[in-house]
Amino acid sequence: MSVNDVIMQAMRENGIDFVTTVPCKQLAGVIEKIEQADDMRHVPANREDEGMGLCAGAYMGGAKPAIIMQNTAIGVTINALATLIQFYRMPLPMLISYRGEVGEPVACQVEMAVHTKALLDQLSIPTYHFHNPEDAQETSAILSHCFMARKPVALLMDATFWKGA
Amino acid sequence: MIRSDVLKTLIPLISDELVVTNIGLPSQEMHLLDDQPSNFYMLGTMGLASSIGLGLALAQDKKVIAVDGDGSVLMNFGTLPTIANNPAPNFILLIIDNGSYGSTGDQTTYTGMKTSLADVARACGCDNVVECSAEDTKDAVVKALAGEQMTLIISKCESGNIKVPVIEMDPVVIKDRFMKAVNA
């Protein structure tokens, strides 16, 4: 099974039915599957903090949300994470394309990659780094952990991982 | 009429509805005038009241009113195409447009100058955009609540604030009682 299918299956196992996305080339396959899924509402966002607002509202409306985004956007989401998701104690799985790691062709992407884990650590967000395609097998348990803890949780999926897509 | 006057006229209409209120004075005014479990006071994320309201409206069937401001919509313009392209017939976005950043000292916003939020919203694809005076806002909300179409109301009112206390309620309590009101 491709990592895209493993991720989709993990989201379904956890009842995720509301997904907001800002695209990334690495995430294109997953986003396409979400768009086609009858059991998930896909709401593309224009910016990631907007997406977190959508997820917060959907959660309070009884949905199980997730956001799909690039790590380059961590900076614009700091306030939404701290004063919305964490302040009100909401779960938010963040499926993040970890750009700027080994295999990255665009030098500029490395600049945010070197800050990504430090920013997530500063926010005390549980963070899981997927490097090998088989790491995808942990997705379902991590999503379950996220909803149990009612916290944002970051899954960083790097270029080597996406070779399994 | 200033924002708090507009809110006062709306309370009999929206008291039992799901209401998401904008950061700063709009939340504090709603909290002072008519604190309800069905009010979600958004205390920290300027710009996201409309996004939270839309997410909530898409996830369940009850009517949702997001009370937003001109400065906040200017900060999160991306919300308008998202609202336009993800139809939620149960969603009302009420933008109290006083042309100023009320919570920070009434500095002028661009909607107090050349920018028209109604024109921007229509250009973003929002179909049902109503611009009205502060006095006519109540009627616009009555109509929106009775209708079966997403409505974006821009209420043009005067700049100015009343003295209101900050909200000391625990955020988890705000969320918890709001979620119970959603499910009631």
Per-residue pLDDT tens digits for A56-114: 999 999 999 999 999 999 999 999 999 999 999 999 999 999 999 999 999 999 999 99
CB atoms within 10 A of CB A9: 14
pLDDT classification of B52: cutoffs 50, 70, 90: very high
Give yes or no for B58 touching A (CB within 8 A).
yes
- Number of folded domains that form chain A: 1
Give yes or no for B167 touching A (CB within 8 A).
no
What average pLDDT does the structure give for chain B? 97
- List the structure tokens of A43: 């709401």
Q: SS3 for A90?
A: coil
pTM tops 0.95, yes or no: yes
Name the residue among B51, B171, B178 with its Cβ closest to that of A53: B51
Q: Are B10 and B142 in contact (CB under 8 A)?
A: no
Q: Are B179 and B156 in contact (CB under 8 A)?
A: no
CA distance B100 to B17: 27
- Residue A95 maps to which CATH number? 3.40.50.970
The pLDDT tens digits of the residues spanning B139-184 come to 999 999 999 999 999 999 999 999 999 999 999 999 999 999 999 9
User: Where do the structural domains in chain B lie, given as residue ranges?
Assistant: 3-183
**Which domain does A145 fall in, by range?**
3-162
Hey, are the CB atoms on A83 and B60 less than 8 Å from each other? no
pLDDT classification of A141: cutoffs 50, 70, 90: very high
CA distance A64 to A94: 12
**Residue in A47, A52, A88 to test binding to B, most B beta-carbons within 10 Å:** A88
Residues 83-102 on B with a CB inside 8 Å of A are 86
Hey, are the CB atoms on B58 and A61 less than 8 Å from each other? yes
Q: How many CA atoms lie within 13 A of B26 on its CB side?
A: 34
Mean local confidence (pLDDT), B102-116: 94
In A, minimum Cα distance to B180 occurs at: A60
pLDDT reading at A164 higher than 90: no
pLDDT classification of A165: cutoffs 50, 70, 90: confident
Name the residue among B44, B82, B172 with its Cβ closest to that of A89: B172
Taking alpha carbons only, the member of A61, A77, A63, A73 closest to residue A22 is: A73
CA distance A24 to B127: 30
Give the distance, in angstroms, between the CA of residue B105 and the centroid of all CA atoms in the same chain: 20
Mean local confidence (pLDDT), B65-89: 98
The answer, yes or no, to whether ipTM is higher than 0.95 is yes
What integer pLDDT is reported at residue A5 of this predicted model? 97
**Residue in B42, B48, B75 to test binding to A, most A beta-carbons within 10 Å:** B48
Please give the CATH architecture assigned to the domain spanning B3-183: 3-Layer(aba) Sandwich (3.40)
